[in-house]
């Protein structure tokens, strides 16, 4: 029941990190992949590597999820029904209320909230006319836990969780399921880049601190998130909708 044969999955932010891991895992289970990313060349390279490794169908398209015209153009290039949408594209910000500029709020809202909204709206139009589908959004433990210096980021991920619940409720009769995943810290290229920019020469020490902050003693991996995503987007989870799944190494309940 975890197989995704005859399913087409659109994944945003699919050129790296969690998005790429999800695209690869879905392809390994038979899904046709549409990899969307702000960087069109990176999206195409990701799709080419997936096709070469898994011998299935994969295309890569450039898409600025915060721009309505860009989203419409990308979805117009997708042939056939959208069976699965995974909203992975997102950006982060470090800072409390006083350290957050209006421009920071606008930038994070545009990508994390508006982008999720625009892609869900585009996908639902296909799903309603094709007897249903599955939407999975990437929220965060920051949506439901107070985390220091993540004011704007927490706001956006709280909105993602709320949108998930609303869509799940509104589209029950259309056979559309909508859930979200809330990771804690996951070791991605973004983490490496953030440490290199902000803590040059201290990367190893800071990495240990990030790992130690998880009760399980390490950060998660993109592949572990991809495994949960596969379950939630497969027929094995056909009785699950309107749920937020933490994947957090015990952060939510044990910290």
Q: Residue 195: is its pLDDT beyond 80? A: yes
Q: Which CATH architecture group holds 8-254? A: 3-Layer(aba) Sandwich (3.40)
- Reported as a pLDDT band with limits 50, 70 and 90, residue 252 is confident
- Strand segments (E) across the chain: 8-12, 32-37, 58-62, 84-87, 133-138, 176-183, 244-247
Q: Are 7 and 83 in contact (CB under 8 A)?
A: yes
- Residue 199 confidence (pLDDT): 87
- Residue 181 confidence (pLDDT): 98
Other CB atoms within a 10 A radius of the CB of residue 119 amount to 27
- Residue 198 confidence (pLDDT): 79
- Reported as a pLDDT band with limits 50, 70 and 90, residue 193 is confident
- Reported as a pLDDT band with limits 50, 70 and 90, residue 197 is confident
CA dihedral 195, 198, 201, 205 (to 10 degrees): -50
Q: What is the mean pLDDT of residues 213-242?
A: 96
- Reported as a pLDDT band with limits 50, 70 and 90, residue 40 is very high
Summarize pLDDT for 118-164 with one digit per residue, the tens: 999 999 999 999 999 999 999 999 999 999 989 999 999 999 999 99
All structural domains of the chain with their residue ranges: 8-254
Do the bridges between strand 8-12 and strand 58-62 make them parallel or antiparallel, or are there none, so unpaired? unpaired
- Residue 17 confidence (pLDDT): 95
Q: Are 176 and 56 in contact (CB under 8 A)?
A: no
Confidence (pTM) = 0.95
Active site annotation includes 153: yes
- Residue 83 confidence (pLDDT): 98
Q: Residue 255: is its pLDDT beyond 80? A: no
- Residue 4 confidence (pLDDT): 97
> What is the pLDDT of the chain when averaged over all its residues?
95
- Reported as a pLDDT band with limits 50, 70 and 90, residue 173 is very high
Q: Are 207 and 107 in contact (CB under 8 A)?
A: no
- Reported as a pLDDT band with limits 50, 70 and 90, residue 190 is confident
């Amino acid at each position: 029941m975890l197989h995704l044969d005859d399913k087409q999955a659109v994944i945003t932010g699919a050129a790296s990190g969690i998005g790429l891991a999800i695209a690869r895992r879905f392809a390994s289970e038979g899904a046709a992949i549409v990899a969307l990313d702000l960087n069109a060349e990176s999206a195409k390279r990701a799709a080419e590597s997936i096709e070469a490794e898994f011998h299935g169908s994969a295309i890569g398209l450039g898409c600025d999820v915060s721009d309505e015209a860009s989203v419409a153009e990308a979805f117009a290039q997708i042939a056939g029904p959208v069976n699965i949408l995974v909203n992975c594209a997102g950006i982060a910000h470090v800072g409390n209320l006083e350290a957050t500029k209006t421009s920071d709020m606008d930038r994070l809202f545009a990508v994390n909230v508006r982008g999720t909204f625009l892609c869900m709206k585009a996908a639902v139009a296909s799903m309603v006319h094709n007897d249903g589908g599955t939407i999975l959004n990437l929220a965060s433990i920051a949506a439901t836990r107070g985390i220091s210096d993540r004011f704007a980021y927490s706001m956006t991920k709280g909105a993602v969780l709320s949108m998930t619940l609303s869509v799940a409720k509104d589209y029950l009769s259309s056979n559309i399921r909508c859930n979200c995943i809330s990771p804690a810290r996951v070791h991605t290229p973004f983490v490496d880049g953030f440490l290199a920019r902000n803590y040059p020469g201290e990367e190893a020490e800071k990495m240990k601190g990030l790992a130690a902050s998880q009760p399980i003693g390490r950060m998660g991996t993109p592949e572990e998130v991809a495994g949960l995503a596969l379950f939630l987007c497969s027929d094995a989870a056909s009785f699950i909708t309107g749920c937020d799944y933490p994947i957090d190494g015990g952060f939510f309940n044990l910290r």
